[in-house]
Structure formats: C-alpha cells, structure tokens
Structure 1
Amino acid sequence: MELRERPAAKSLEEAAALIGIAPASIVKTLVVKRADDTYLFALIPGDRAISWPKLRAVVGVNKLQLPDPQRALEATGYERGTIVPIGSTTDWPVFADEAIVGERIAMGAGAHGYSLFVDADELIASYRATVADISQPLTGD
C-alpha cells in the first residue's frame, strides 16, 4: 500500500492524468444504501459505471441507491470523492467489480488531494469482498 499526495483534481480523468495512470486504474468506492438503511461499498473501475441491476442481483435486494453526501459521510466518516473501505467508521460489506482483479489500483485515501495505491487482490482478500460483474460502460461521454 502506498499513499501519494497529488494536486486537487476536478474529475477522475484529471486525477488519473496527475498520477500518471489510466482512468480504469482508479477505482471509485461508492457507498450504497439498502432499503433497511444499511450500506455497502461498491468498487468500480474509473472508466465504468455501477450497474444497478447487476449489483441488486448480486446483493439479493430489490432496491439500492446512492445516499446524499451527508448520509455518505455519516455512514463512512469520509466525504464523497475520498471514500475508501479502509478506515471507514463502519465495516460495511465490500462488493468489487471483477475487472479490478489482478490489478494495482489507485483509490480514494480518506482526504482530498491523496491517492492510495493498493493491490486489488490483497484488498479483496482483506475485506472478504464479493467479486462479481457489477459495472457497465459509461454512457453519455
């Protein structure tokens, strides 16, 4: 694991350029709310979007949503754009997109202006993450 400081970025693509990696190598950690007000983390490659139907099927629920920024902060202890399972205030289940398996990835580091580089397989093993196809290509770009 390596923590690297970087200038503030206005987008995932800008962050990738600043640290010299492809957008796909930045993994977005999305905190997702279930209907029962519990949460989970979804790890999605930066060049893809979450697939709600696929994630609902893997989780086994009919409804999932992204919470508003304040609820995300309360659920994890992190602001949006800095969320990472590591050090979260609650140990929510982790669901990782299969595309990150075997990769060295960069992700949020709990504070703006930092990137955390980790071996995805070690992260998956450490959190006993469920690995599945939970993403789709970005649309509207």
Structure 2
Amino acid sequence: MSDGGPTGRQRVEVDAAAHGVAVEVVSRPEADSLEAAADLLGLTPSDIVKSLVVKRHDGSFLFALVPGDRQISWSKLRAVVGVNKLSLPRPEIALEATGYERGTITPIGSTTAWPVYADERIVGLRVALGAGEHGYSAFVDADALIAGYDATVADISD
C-alpha cells in the first residue's frame, strides 16, 4: 500500500491471530479461473471458499462464504439473514466496504467486521480463501474460522 500501512496479507495474518484462527498464507501464481487456482493449490474447486460481499437494503454488508463449486442461493440467504432484499455490490463498493479488491476478499482483516454467513458444506474442512492480496491464498480450518468470526452456519448455496 502506498500509505505505508499494512499489506492485505499482513492484515489477514494479524486479524486471524487476534481471533485465534491459525492461517497459512501461501504465494501462488495468478490464475484465470477458480478451477485453475484449485489446480495450482492442489485442491478441488469445492475446497476454495469464495468470500462474497453482500449488500443489505439498508446499506450495510455481510460476508457469504460459499464453496467454489457452488453459487449463493439468494432465497436461502435472504431467509437466514431475515431480509427480503440482498445484492452484490459493484467492485469499488466491495473494496470500500472491506479494504480488499475482488479476488482477494476475505472476512479476515476486513476494514469493517461485517457479519459472516458460512455455507454448511465447509464445516469440517481445511479451505483456501482470499488472503487480502492478489497472488496469495490463505489456508484455514473452516471450523476455527467459523468460531473465530462468530459465523452463522446454514445452507446458503445451490
């Protein structure tokens, strides 16, 4: 960062430690798809968790953690959150809300600690997710992530 502040991955490492979550940040070549990223990391697409920034109607946000081979189920997520309108914000809004660019987003180290909703399919897995910077992935135990960030676990994907 040009302001001399911590890098995205440093924010991830510091925040994970503060939440009692062991995180392993690894360098990886750029990938042009989720499948390519999974191949580079020796994983299946379902082992990569997409951290999606979701905007509520009131202008606040939440994180939805969904296995890479699945999509958000808007109806399921709305029911769990208890609202009737949710949307994906434009990339610049997601950056403003989290401090992370698309492709690097993670709830870990976000500039604002938005609520986290995790798809039930990640429970019990070691997963890779954004590490706050392009060219890096963060490996975490999903159960530790869920506990450390007080995530709501539910069926939120199709």
TM-score interval, smaller chain: over 0.9
In 2, Cα distance between equivalents of 1:107 and 1:35: 26
More helix by share: 2
Hey, what does 2:154 align to over in structure 1?
132
Sequence identity, in percent? 72
Q: What is the CA distance between 1:36 and its match in structure 2?
A: 0.4
Q: What is the CA distance between 1:3 and its match in structure 2?
A: 0.6
Alignment map for 1:61-76 (pairs within 5 Å): 61-76=83-98
- So what's the TM-score if we normalise by structure 2? 0.86
Give the aligned residue type for 1:92.
Answer: W
Hey, what does 2:109 align to over in structure 1?
87
More strand by share: 1
Is the counterpart of residue 116 in structure 1 residue 133 in structure 2? no
Q: Mark the runs of 5 or more structure 2 residues left unpaired by the alignment.
A: 1-22
Q: What is the CA distance between 1:15 and its match in structure 2?
A: 0.3
SS at match of 2:65: strand
- 1:17 corresponds, among 23, 28, 39, to 39
Q: What is the CA distance between 1:134 and its match in structure 2?
A: 0.1
SS at match of 1:135: coil
Q: Mark the runs of 5 or more structure 1 residues left unpaired by the alignment.
A: 137-141
Q: What is the CA distance between 1:114 and its match in structure 2?
A: 0.4
SS at match of 1:96: strand
Give the aligned residue type for 2:157.
Answer: S
- So what's the TM-score if we normalise by structure 1? 0.96
Is the counterpart of residue 55 in structure 1 residue 77 in structure 2? yes
In 1, Cα distance between equivalents of 2:43 and 2:113: 29
C-alpha RMSD of the superposition: 0.4
User: What is the total number of aligned residue pairs between the two structures?
Assistant: 136
Hey, what does 2:5 align to over in structure 1?
none
| Cα displacement string for residues 75-112 of structure 1 (whole angstroms, at most 9, x for unaligned residues) | 00000010000100000000000000000000000011
